[in-house]
Structure formats: C-alpha cells, structure tokens
C-alpha cells in the first residue's frame, strides 16, 4: 500500500478546483447535508438537485419536517423511489425534534442510532457537517481505493468495508469532510467504473492499478444475485362519474402509496374476487412496462375494463377509493403507477 505524504494534498487540490457545484456543498446546516446524503443514495446528482430544493423550501427546518404528515413528505419524495429512505428520514427527524431540541446530534454514536442511518451516512454527515474524523466508504470510494492499492478484496463483504474505513482513517484526521468528498468526486468524475480517465487523474502517480494495468479489473465484486421477475396485472376501472379506481398498498414494498389495483399474475387473487363482481377487461394489455427495484423486477401488464362501471353498485374495500384523474396530485403514486396514469390520461 502506498504511503506518499503528497497523496491527500494532490487529491484535495484537484477537488478544490474541479468539484461540481451542488447546493448542499454551499451550506453547513447538518439537516440539509443529511437530507442530501439520503436523497443521493441510489440516485444520480442531477436528479436529486430539484427534489432537494423543493424539499427544503417546503420543510426548511427540522421542526417543520417533524410536524409534517407522512403523506405530504412522501408527496415531496414522489419520483425519487426507494421510499423507505423518506420514511426512515422522517422518523429520525421526529426523534431529533423530540429528543435533541431540533439539533442534529454531533456525536457519531448518537447520530448512528437514528432510524435509517448506516455507516456511510453516519460518516458522511459527521465528517462534512462537523469535520469529525470518520472515513466514508461508498461505491466511488471502494473503486478509488481498490485501484490505488491494486486491492483484490471483495468489496461486497463487510470485512472489506471495515478494512477500508480503517486504512482511510489517517487521511481524515483533519479536513475530513473535504477529503471524503474529494474521494467520492474523483470516483464520480475520473476514476469511473468503465473507461477511467487515468490520464487526467490527479493521483495517478500514487495508483498501483495504473502501473500494473489492472484498473478495469477493479474493484472486485462478488457475483450479483439474479433479479427475480414478477409478472403483475394492473386493472384500470372507470365509473360513471369519470373516476378511476385506486388502492392503497398494504404490502411492505411501497407501503401506503397509491396504485391502480394490481395483482401478481400467478396468484389466485384478482380484482373481481376483491370486489365480488364480474367486470370484463380487454383481452390483451393496453400498456406494458417494466419497473426495477434492487432485487426484483415487475413486468407489468395493464388491462382496461371494457365498460363504464356504476359506482353505486360496488362496495369498495377500505383501502380502495375512486379518484378523478385531475386529482392525482393529491395522492402519492410510485413511478410505475405515474407512468400508467399518464398513459391512461392520454389514451382513454
């Protein structure tokens, strides 16, 4: 492993001149920094920026977010996906409001005990907001550090994460937030997964993988588990009041969000069983789409009721309601259902 004293200096100097402009880099407010880190999980920077601005405009303080209803919080998160992030963040903010006088804790162990705060978020917020000596290890850092050291350890293993955190510790004893952001920025802009820009790398002289010709082979990751595909049938039903039937999800995935009634194709349940009626639908789907989660993919087929339904003839279960199409913004829809909504609004 290299130990050149100029490594950190070279990296930080490059970062000072080349870092991208991001609104959360213009603040020292730990609440805003924390929010940005949560939003950036599994999501690209360019997507997050607008959501970040809208969110802090509506919930500018810990107190105001704590007091907000979960449905409104999810509405401002709508489209970002991974909604458990928003729920966990909201729960943690309530904890900060109730137990820490609206002040984000600056003790790593206390902050790390909050809902949804894992090792990466803990290190990122504590180092960037409070300059505490914690090393962040995300996908970018895994890639940069493994290449710098020509390291073939499996980056999917927790033991590797722990080792990287320990090895990076000497570099975060001062200016921790700047160093951590510089490492992540290098991975995002230069030390990319494919076609790394080694000729423009500010720490090329410190990189063992560059000199060994192994850059493209690193980092080493164990084989991904193949995603499970689930075929889903979505039913679009309109009534004589020009409303469509929607349902609040009770399942853990996308819990409490709204959808057009959806059932797994291989299950014995369908919309007619739920409503205890006999509605006929198009024989072939009017619209199809795929929606990917971390571990599963939904293959969705959308079927349209062939007749307008008299709403007075159907007793809806508690989790269902009729919705005017123009009232969609009052409900929290996941991305897949928003796509279906747009198709329905344009084609039916």
State the Cα–Cα distance between residues 243 and 247, nearest whole angstrom: 13
The residue among 41, 72, 62 whose CA lies nearest residue 256 is: 72
Tokens representing 121?
Answer: 């978020």
Look at the chain and count its residues.
Answer: 348
78 is catalytic: no
State the Cα–Cα distance between residues 52 and 39, nearest whole angstrom: 8
Answer yes or no: are the C-beta atoms of 99 and 132 closer than 8 Å.
no
Classify strands 258-259 and 296-304 as parallel, antiparallel or unpaired.
Answer: unpaired
State the Cα–Cα distance between residues 234 and 237, nearest whole angstrom: 10
- Which of 21, 26, 37, 243 is catalytic? The answer is 37
Strand partners for 232: 264, 300
**End-to-end CA gap in the chain:** 63
- Tally helices (H) and strands (E) across the chain: 14, 7
Task: Give the torsion through C-alpha atoms of 45, 49, 52, 56, to 10 deg.
Answer: 140
Tokens representing 267?
Answer: 């299950």
Helices (H), 44-138: 45-58, 62-67, 70-77, 84-99, 108-112, 119-130
Q: By three-state DSSP, how is residue 30 classified?
A: helix
197 C-beta neighbours (distance < 10 Å), count: 11
Query: Could you list the active site residues?
Result: 37
């Amino acid at each position: 492993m290299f130990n050149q004293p100029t490594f950190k200096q070279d990296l930080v100097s490059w970062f000072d001149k080349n870092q991208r402009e991001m609104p959360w880099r213009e603040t020292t407010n730990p609440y805003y920094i924390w929010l940005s880190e949560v939003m950036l999980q599994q999501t690209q920077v360019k997507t997050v920026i607008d959501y970040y601005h809208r969110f802090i405009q509506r919930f500018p303080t810990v107190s105001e977010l704590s007091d907000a209803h979960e449905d409104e919080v999810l509405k401002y998160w709508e489209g970002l996906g991974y909604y458990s992030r928003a729920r966990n963040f909201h729960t943690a903010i309530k904890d900060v409001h109730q137990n820490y006088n609206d002040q984000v804790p600056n003790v790593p162990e206390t902050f790390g005990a909050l809902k949804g705060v894992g090792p990466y978020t803990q290190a990122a917020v504590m180092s960037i907001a409070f300059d505490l000596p914690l090393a962040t290890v995300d996908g970018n850092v895994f890639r940069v550090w493994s290449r710098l050291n020509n390291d073939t350890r499996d980056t999917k293993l927790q033991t590797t994460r722990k080792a990287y955190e320990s090895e990076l510790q000497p570099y975060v004893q001062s200016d921790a937030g700047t160093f951590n952001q510089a490492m992540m920025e290098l991975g995002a802009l230069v030390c990319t997964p494919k076609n790394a820009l080694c000729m423009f790398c500010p720490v090329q002289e410190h990189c063992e993988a560059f000199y060994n010709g192994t850059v493209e082979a690193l980092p080493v990751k164990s084989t991904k588990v193949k995603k499970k595909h689930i075929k889903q049938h979505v039913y679009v039903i309109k009534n004589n009041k020009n409303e469509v039937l929607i349902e609040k999800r009770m399942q853990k995935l996308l819990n409490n969000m709204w959808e057009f009634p959806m059932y797994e194709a291989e299950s014995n349940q369908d919309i007619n069983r739920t409503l205890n009626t006999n509605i006929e639908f198009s024989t072939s789907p009017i619209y199809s789409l795929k929606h990917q989660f971390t571990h599963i993919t939904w293959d969705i087929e959308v079927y349209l009721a062939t007749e307008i339904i008299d709403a007075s003839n159907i007793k809806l279960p508690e989790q269902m309601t009729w919705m005017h199409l123009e009232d969609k913004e009052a409900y929290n829809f996941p991305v897949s259902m928003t796509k279906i909504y747009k198709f329905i609004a344009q084609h039916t």
